Structure 1
Amino acid sequence: MPLFRVQNWDDAYANGANIPGGERWPEAWVQPAADFRTVTGKRAELDIAYGDHPREKLDLFFPVGEPRGLFVFVHGGYWLALDKSYWSHLAGGAIGHGWAVAIPSYPLCPEVRVADIVRSVARSVAMAAARVGGQIRLAGHSAGGQVVTRLLCGGTGLPDPVAARVDGVMSISGVHDLRPLLRTEMNETLGLDIREARAESPALLEPVIDVPVICWAGAAERAEFVRQNALLANVWRGLGLATETVEEPDRHHFSVVDGLAQEDSPMTTILFS
């Protein structure tokens, strides 16, 4: 039986360089997001401060009529890049199902640590939850997948009454074990050490919030993202949680989030059914 060892960890976690036409992202998201903000108009509240840091702001989008609940989407970018403005259009699917949608920005490494980002996002969820009633569902892409699943493990400052309203989580191409990143050049900027990598890896922790967790990745992603996706669902199922692993055909690391923009996509349907 042939054995496989990762020889190049930077390549294993490099997305754009391994996707045909990958240089189009993240700019490919800018115009659809801007158009969505224009269309939603008065049904959006932008740049709501949820903390003292200049990047601690969120956008809140509302459906027509009373919201069924609150959906929070946490963006990726390896904890190093991007902000809420790239992703507004991804609120479309949830809004179509009658949910309000919060999309926060957060401080980035190396100014802060990964652990600080998780706590910042916890504050954003609490702020949005104070404005929108009902159940809360969380989703995050890539680094955002680590953040939303880490929120289930306690010690993040998420208030207990808010945590009690969370009834489902989707990690989209999430990085659930941070230890491999210690071997990458990006860690010179991330600044992870083994202690923090272990403490902030959801796959190494026990969740204290017992809700269904869907781990969703594109079947055409880098092998490490497919492995990380299945890893969390496997480990947490062994801890008693209801989990599901999905590998969506013909989706890569950037296109895999497109389903959130569409009311009738498989991703949105499973999230809001």
Structure 2
Amino acid sequence: MKITDWDDAYANAAHIPGAERFLSEWPVRTETLRAKVAPVILHYGEGARQVIDLYRPESAVQGLTIIVHGGYWMRFSPDEFGFLAEGPLAHGQAVAMVRYTLAPEVRIAEITAEVAAAVAVAAREVPGPIRLTGHSAGGHLVTRMVCADVLPEELARRIVHVVSVSGVHDLRPLLRTQMNATLRLDPAEALAESPALLIPREGIRVTCAVGGQERPEFIRQNDLLANVWQGLGADMGALHLPGVHHFDVIDALADPDGVLTRCLLDQSRA
């Protein structure tokens, strides 16, 4: 079906009954976690938002999970999405929640560079294998981390799995949306920052996960990367989670026994 309303195609809240309830619950859930496990604050730059909330498990650290929040690169922070750390924490993962500068203060290419710097700082703090996951814009950013030439080779070799949840992997459609007045994408940056148009690191393992009740464009974007990167040598998986939409799909990561937590930690195969 031809898309004639690109803003509607990428609108989530308008198509989720009671959407505001989810948005208001996220910071409450994060505060509940912080009351139990206080994060350590790490700085990866001098900017006000260039910080990481690092949660450490009570048990011995088994590795590092890095989580990048969504919000179309222009909203939210770990203050809302911090509750997602609970799933990996329960399995001995140290969890780094990345905060980054938002558009329009910076462009998406600059956000990519900030997240790469954050990954490097978190990796120096916690030894062992690294797993990356992110939601929506965060899904885009974690897949950018495993495009060729983004991270140093020694650091990239530590990454064992990337899980992009409801990620936007081809930015060109966003050029047609009103939100681009904030994002300030131009055709050249849309090409340069779209993982689906770039080369993944050889043999990298990536799972693209999306809710079965999400907007058709998010399902298409999910399967696009899985298809293209499989043909470029990546170890790809595609996961459609039935009965969930763009806002509750992430509950499967916050849950220690959730399908996304198990997938991220290699306890189940996509």
Residue 33 of structure 1 corresponds to which residue in structure 2? 30
SS of 2:200 mapped into structure 1: coil
Sequence identity (%): 49
Return the match for 2:135 from 133, 137, 141: 141
**Contact 1:168/1:212 (<8 A) preserved:** yes
Instruction: Verify the 8 A CA contact 1:153 1:209 in the aligned structure 2.
Output: no
Residues 16/35 of structure 1: CA separation in 2 closer, same or farther (3 Å cut): same
RMSD: 1.0
What are the Cα deviations for residues 216-245 of structure 1, in whole angstroms up to 9, with x where unaligned? Answer: 000000000000000000000111211111
Quote the residue 2:171 is aligned against: 178
How many residues align? The count is 266
Whether the aligned pair in 2 keeps the contact of 1:16 and 1:25 (CA below 8 Å) is no
Taking the aligned partners of 1:15 and 1:220, their CA distance within structure 2 comes to 11
**Which residue does the alignment assign to 1:89?**
83
Residues 27, 80 of structure 2: 8 Å contact kept: yes
CA distance in 1, matches of 2:130, 2:155: 8
When normalised by structure 2's length, the TM-score is 0.96
Structure 1 distance, partners of 2:202, 2:81, is: 27
Structure-2 residue corresponding to 1:222 = 215
How many angstroms apart in 2 are the aligned matches of 1:183 and 1:246?
A: 28
Out of 134, 159, 166, the residue aligned to residue 159 of structure 2 is: 166
In the alignment, does 2:15 pair up with 1:5? no
> What per-residue deviation string (whole Å, max 9, x for no partner) do you get for residues 174-229 of structure 1?
00000000000000110000000000000000112532110000000000000000
Deviations 1:103-123 (A, max 9, x none): 010001111110110110111
**Pairs within 5 Å for 1:82-161:** 82-156=76-150, 158-161=151-154
User: Residues 155 and 52 from structure 1, CA distance in 2 versus in 1: closer, same or farther, beyond 3 angstroms?
Assistant: farther
Q: Which residue number in structure 2 is paired with residue 266 of structure 1?
A: 259
Give the direction of change, closer, same or farther, for the CA distance of 1:82–1:108 in structure 2 (3 Å limit): same
Rounded Cα–Cα distance in structure 2 between residues aligned with 1:252 and 1:263: 20
Which of 28-37 and 60-69 deviates more?
60-69
Q: In structure 2, what residue type is equivalent to 1:63?
A: P
The CA deviation at 1:25 is 3.5
Q: CA deviation at 1:155?
A: 3.7
Structure 1 residue 85 displacement after superposition: 1.0
| Displacement over 3 Å in runs of 4+ | none
Instruction: Give secondary structure in 1 for the equivalent of 2:118.
Output: helix
Which segments of 5 or more consecutive residues in structure 1 lack a partner in the other structure?
Answer: none
